[in-house]
């Protein structure tokens, strides 16, 4: 798994490639939490390169979402494959983490 970060205004964009499973989840969490700044209004997790996410990866998103709530910030995800979108829908995560088709769509929604 590879995690990259970038900034677009007051939004942190986290790019993820590979598998987010029990082995890589702690690295995933550390990368996101280490990049969050108090001034961030949102974190966009771009999952376009994710082939698989395990329950440990979903748990990371819950933990990060709670952390962001404390600073009045949002967590959203974008660019999910059909398979990942199905996992988010079946598990109920799509009602917790807003999903967008692309990074541009996520940015537009957050900036509106």
Rounded mean pLDDT for each run of 10 residues along the chain, 112 residues in total: 96 98 97 96 98 96 96 97 96 95 97 88
Q: Check residue 93 and report its DSSP letter.
A: G
pLDDT value at residue 83: 95
65 by DSSP, 3-state: which?
helix
* pLDDT for res 6: 97
State the CB neighbour count (10 A cutoff) for residue 56. 16
Q: What fold is seen in the domain 15-39+47-76?
A: Transcription Regulator spoIIAA (3.30.750)
Q: Exposed, middle or buried, 50 (CB in 10 Å: 0-12/13-18/19+)?
A: buried
């Amino acid at each position: 798994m590879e995690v990259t970060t970038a900034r677009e205004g007051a939004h942190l964009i986290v790019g993820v490639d590979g598998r987010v499973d029990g082995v890589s989840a702690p690295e995933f969490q550390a990368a996101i939490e280490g990049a969050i700044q108090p001034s961030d209004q949102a974190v966009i997790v771009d999952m376009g390169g994710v082939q698989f996410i395990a329950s440990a990866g979903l748990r990371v998103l819950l933990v990060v979402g709670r952390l962001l709530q404390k600073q009045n910030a949002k967590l959203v995800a974008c660019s999910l494959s059909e398979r990942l979108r199905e996992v988010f829908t079946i598990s109920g995560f799509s009602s917790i983490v807003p999903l967008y088709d692309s990074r541009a769509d996520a940015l537009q929604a957050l900036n509106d």
